[in-house]
Amino acid sequence: MNGQKPKTISIVISVYNEEKALHEFYREATPVFEALPWNYELIFVNDGSADASGQILAELAAADPRVRVINFSRNFGHEAAMLAGLDHSIGEGIVCMDADLQHPPECVAQIIEKFEEGYEVINMVRTKNKSAGFIKNLTSSAFYKFLNKISDVKLENNASDFFALTANAAQVLKTNYREKVRFLRGYVQNIGFNRTTIEYEARARVAGESKYSIRKLFKFSINTILCFSDLPLKLGIYSGIIVGFLGLLVMLETIYEWAVKGTPNGYATIVVLLCFMFAMLFVIVGIIGEYIAILFTELKDRPIYIVHDTKGFPEKES
- pLDDT tens-digit map of 140-183: 667 667 666 766 666 676 667 788 999 988 888 888 888 777 77
Give Cα separations from 133 to 97, 130, 136, 156 (angstroms).
Answer: 20, 7, 6, 20
Helix (H) or strand (E) holding 309: strand 307-311
Tell me the average pLDDT across 174-203. Answer: 80
Lowest mean pLDDT among 10-19, 142-151, 231-240, 304-313: 142-151
Rounded mean pLDDT of the chain? 79
Q: Judging by beta carbons within 10 Å of its beta carbon (0-12, 13-18, 19+), is residue 12 exposed, middle or buried?
A: buried
Res 245 pLDDT > 90: no
**pLDDT at res. 77:** 84
Q: Which residues, including other chains, have CB under 8 Å from residue 211's CB and lie 6 or more apart?
A: 16, 17, 78
**pLDDT at res. 229:** 67
Which among 245, 235, 227, 241 has a CA at the least distance from the CA of 293?
A: 227
Structure confidence at residue 265 as a pLDDT band (50, 70, 90) = low
Q: How many CA atoms lie within 13 A of 166 on its CB side?
A: 18
Give Cα separations from 59 to 26, 40, 54, 203, 310 (angstroms).
Answer: 12, 19, 9, 27, 13
**pLDDT at res. 2:** 47
| DSSP for 8-39, written as a single string | EEEEEEEESS-TTTHHHHHHHHHHHHHTSSSE
Structure confidence at residue 238 as a pLDDT band (50, 70, 90) = confident
Distance CA 229, CA 92 (A): 33
Tell me the average pLDDT across 216-224. Answer: 66
Tell me the average pLDDT across 231-258. Answer: 71
Beta-bridged to residue 156, according to DSSP, are none
CA 177 to chain centre: 13
CA 140 to chain centre: 12
